[in-house]
Homo-oligomer: A and B are copies of this chain.
Amino acid sequence: MRLEVVNTGDELLLGHCLNSHLAYFGRQLSDLGLRIARQTCVPDSDEAIAAALAEAVSRSEVVLVTGGLGPTSDDRTLDVVSGVLRRGLSEDPAVLESIRRRMAASGREVTAGCRRQARALSGAEVLPNAFGTAPGHYLPATPGSPHVFLLPGPPRELHPMFEEAVVPRLRALLGPAAPPAIKVFKLFGVGESAAAAAVDTPLAAVPGLSHGYQVDAGYVNVRLTGSPGPLAAGGEVVQRAFGDAVVSDDGRTLEQVVVARLAARGETVATAESCTGGLIASTLTDVPGASDVFRRGLVTYANTAKVDLLGIDPALIDTHGAVSAEVAEAMVRGCLERSGDDHAIAVTGVAGPAGGSPEKPVGTVFIAVGSKGRAAPEVLRCFYPHERAHFKTLTCRRALDILRRRLGC
């Protein structure tokens, strides 16, 4: 089934935001056994959209279009599609009513712009948008025209709509043949080329299996595609090669695995963060049900906060510096004692761009993890000389990985 993607939006071409649609569609469609034959991105201009759309429909069986469905004057997709595919465009009372209800719930009026989103193309199915006012549209194939899906641009509206409304329709079009299954092993603590060197040859030797790698800020994701037998054989190769570096084989993240294990054990964890500024606590609390295992976190950014909130001896900071193994260990001990929680994570480092020294350059971080009743906390020195946000993410993930390995999950 030949499939193309057309993304519309000046903001994508101006570099004001990253086009994440392609990667998202690529992964979703791979799961269905489909591949994207071409992706095109055009600005919010009638001529540009019309040209790209006319070309895509002329050579494809399915066309996915994103963007241009919103309330503003640069939202042109419905008008252009109406012209190119010769479909009438008129207000749909049911859609208008749902928009009105949605706006009323947040005390807002339906403006003229907003009302444009209530229009529907003749012969199209309207796809409800649970996360925004602009619905999607599905135009089933007709002689001379392929299946066309019009989808909203914002990822948080697009993704649920794609998974709930587009995937089932594509599955129906593909028929009953089972698509090859995909299994993703998330590894942490192994480099990409080391991972590939370890399993490339044995995975390639499994008949009927294909595989690939993707890195994501400390994670290496190993993707296996095949029918159940080859998939199981490939899974054994990965497990044997990487052992406890395997975080999950079902897409679960470090924080999901850690929260689930703590919940199962009836245990809790507290955090004491300096350079990550709260990111570890925030990441843990991204997991629904985190409140069962996480009760408190401290962001002790300044030395005074480390002294006040964790009882660190100021002399220790004077002697070793705030970024030191000694202070990281004292932070985790103070956190454990004061919180009464079962486990604690503490981090202190130099996020940069300022604050580095020859002994502790920007990117240096000490991570300490301790547990009630165990003699000494583990303290690890790491070096992530990257820009601030990436430094914080790598530090956070590494800290969660240390706890994960301690918990044996």
Q: List A19-58 residues whose CB lies under 8 Å from chain B.
A: 19-20, 22-30, 35-44, 48, 52
Task: Say if the beta carbon of A267 comes within 8 Å of chain B.
Answer: no
- Contact assessment for B37 and A39 in the assembled complex, using a CB-CB cutoff below 8 Å: no
Of chain B, the residue at the smallest CB distance from A353 is B288
- Contact assessment for B41 and A13 in the assembled complex, using a CB-CB cutoff below 8 Å: no
Alpha-carbon distance between A206 and B182 when the two chains are bound, in angstroms: 53
Q: Mark A187-228, 1 if CB is under 8 A from B, else 0.
A: 000011111110010001000000111111100010100000
Q: Mark A259-301, 1 if CB is under 8 A from B, else 0.
A: 0000000000001010111111110111011110011111111
Identify the interface centre among A73, A154, A275, A352: most chain B CB within 10 Å of its CB. A73
Of chain B, the residue at the smallest CB distance from A15 is B26
Q: How many copies does the complex hold?
A: 2
Task: Collect the chain B residues with CB atoms within 8 Å of residue A276's CB.
Answer: 282, 285
Task: Say if the beta carbon of A319 comes within 8 Å of chain B.
Answer: no
B18, B277, B388: the one contacting A297 at CB < 8 Å is B277
At the interface, is chain A mostly helix, strand, loop or mixed? mixed
Stretch from A302-310, A371-379, A399-407 contacting the other chain = A302-310
Chain B nearest Cβ from A215, distance in angstroms? 6
Q: Mark A386-398, 1 if CB is under 8 A from B, else 0.
A: 1111101000000
Task: Collect the chain B residues with CB atoms within 8 Å of residue A164's CB.
Answer: none
Chain B nearest Cβ from A186, distance in angstroms? 11
Task: Say if the beta carbon of A142 comes within 8 Å of chain B.
Answer: no
Given A22-B15, A52-B38, A281-B278, CB of A294 within 8 Å of CB of B301: yes
- Contact assessment for A194 and B108 in the assembled complex, using a CB-CB cutoff below 8 Å: yes
- Contact assessment for B40 and A12 in the assembled complex, using a CB-CB cutoff below 8 Å: no
Identify the interface centre among A19, A111, A114, A195: most chain B CB within 10 Å of its CB. A19
Task: Collect the chain B residues with CB atoms within 8 Å of residue A383's CB.
Answer: 106
- Contact assessment for B37 and A38 in the assembled complex, using a CB-CB cutoff below 8 Å: no
B43, B52, B284, B286: the one contacting A389 at CB < 8 Å is B286
Of chain B, the residue at the smallest CB distance from A220 is B72
Task: Collect the chain B residues with CB atoms within 8 Å of residue A281's CB.
Answer: 277-278, 299, 301
Task: Say if the beta carbon of A86 comes within 8 Å of chain B.
Answer: no
- Contact assessment for B295 and A302 in the assembled complex, using a CB-CB cutoff below 8 Å: yes
- Contact assessment for A309 and B296 in the assembled complex, using a CB-CB cutoff below 8 Å: yes
Task: Say if the beta carbon of A184 comes within 8 Å of chain B.
Answer: yes
Task: Say if the beta carbon of A70 comes within 8 Å of chain B.
Answer: yes
- Contact assessment for B27 and A15 in the assembled complex, using a CB-CB cutoff below 8 Å: yes
B41, B44, B285: the one contacting A212 at CB < 8 Å is B44
Given A193-B72, A297-B299, CB of A13 within 8 Å of CB of B42: no
**Can you list 19 contacts pairing A with B, beta carbon distance less than 8 Å?**
A11-B223, A16-B184, A17-B214, A17-B216, A35-B43, A37-B43, A111-B196, A156-B386, A271-B299, A278-B282, A278-B299, A286-B389, A288-B352, A295-B301, A295-B302, A295-B305, A296-B298, A296-B304, A298-B298
Known: A14-B212, A277-B281, A281-B299. 15 other contacts (CB 8 A): A9-B214, A15-B24, A19-B22, A22-B41, A37-B42, A39-B42, A72-B193, A73-B196, A74-B211, A111-B193, A114-B193, A131-B386, A277-B290, A278-B280, A298-B298
